[in-house]
Structure 1
Amino acid sequence: MPQFDFATFVPQLAWLTAFFAILYFGIVRFTLPKLGRVMTAREDQVTGDIATAERAKAEADNIQAAYDEGIAEARERARATLADSKAQVGRSVEARLAAAGEEVDARLKTAEAALEQARAKAMTSIESIAAEASADIVERFTGKRPTPSVAAKAAKAAVAAH
């Protein structure tokens, strides 16, 4: 192998040193500064992006808080509207119930008056029937029929006693 030949070893070492120095200083002088600028630019961009993301997050949090507050206010307004509607419906129902109660009371009074008339008529009818029946009974037992006024008076007294 020619690399291990001592006659060519020193020139190979010199060329190796020369190429190493050219490559090293070429990289250090030209490539590293460009690489440093790219890395600095990327670091600045990432830092700016992080700051922008933090500002956007803070703004989104503010928007979310405002949205939640708006929803809470809307719910409270809806509850208040619902309570007002319930109260209004309750008053309406109470008014209708009062009107219906008055109508029922009027009907009840009319029915009671009609019932009292029917009762009075029935009592009159019962008294006249009782007077005729008692007159018939007295006539069967005694053979003499009492006068209608006496029979009516006796029947009225008997009905009043019960």
Structure 2
Amino acid sequence: MPQFDFGHVFWPQIAWLAVIFMVLYFGVVRLTLPKLGAVMDAREASIAGDLAAAKAAKDGADAVDESYHAEMNASREAARSTIAEAKTAAAKATEAQLAKAGAKSDTALAAAEARIAKAVTKAESEIAAAAATSAQAIVTKLTGVTPGIDAAKASVAARI
């Protein structure tokens, strides 16, 4: 059998193996590897571009976020100052109303004190008159002599 004749077959098979290996190697290296390298380079460039775009978008988002927070802080400060101004205005208005109400109550209090003083004076004079009349009646009952009303009033006034 010719398959088992290793003495005549070995060197031609090695030669053909070397030829086919060279053809396949250079065919793969010269034809396939450049295309594969180009695809890998394009893919690497695409990924690098996507990463750069993502970084730019993140930087833009960070800038927008920072400006948003700055604007919110400014708005909070403006609101705080507006609230402080409103509190101050309300305090001044309340103070003015309290002063007005205090003046009104002071006027009413002074009028009431005047009425009370007048009533006290009137009551004292009426009590003095009643006491004088009573003293005159008591002196008349005890002594049988009727003193004058003016003398009884003077006596009561001296005792009060």
TM-score normalized with structure 2 length? 0.90
Instruction: State percent identity of aligned pairs.
Output: 44
- Specify whether residues 63 and 5 from structure 1 end up closer, same or farther in structure 2 by C-alpha distance, changes over 3 A only: farther
Kept in 2: contact 1:127–1:156 (CA 8 A): yes
Amino acid at match of 1:85: A
Q: Which residue of 1 aligns with 2:34?
A: 33
The 5 A counterparts of 1:1-162 are 6-7=6-7, 8-159=9-160
Instruction: Measure, in 1, the Cα distance between the counterparts of 2:25 and 2:62.
Output: 52
CA displacement 1:35-67 (0-9 Å, x = unmatched): 110111111112212222222222122112211
Instruction: Measure, in 1, the Cα distance between the counterparts of 2:4 and 2:63.
Output: 75
Q: Give the CA deviation at 1:4.
A: 7.4
Q: Give the CA deviation at 1:14.
A: 3.3
Amino acid at match of 2:21: F
Q: Give the CA deviation at 1:76.
A: 1.0
Amino acid at match of 1:46: I
Amino acid at match of 1:114: R
Unmatched segments (≥5 aa) in structure 2: none
Amino acid at match of 1:29: R
Amino acid at match of 2:110: K
Kept in 2: contact 1:3–1:9 (CA 8 A): no
CA displacement 1:111-160 (0-9 Å, x = unmatched): 0011011101110111011101211221122111211111112112222x
Unmatched segments (≥5 aa) in structure 1: none
Amino acid at match of 1:121: K
- Specify whether residues 17 and 4 from structure 1 end up closer, same or farther in structure 2 by C-alpha distance, changes over 3 A only: farther
Give the root-mean-square deviation of aligned CA atoms.
1.9
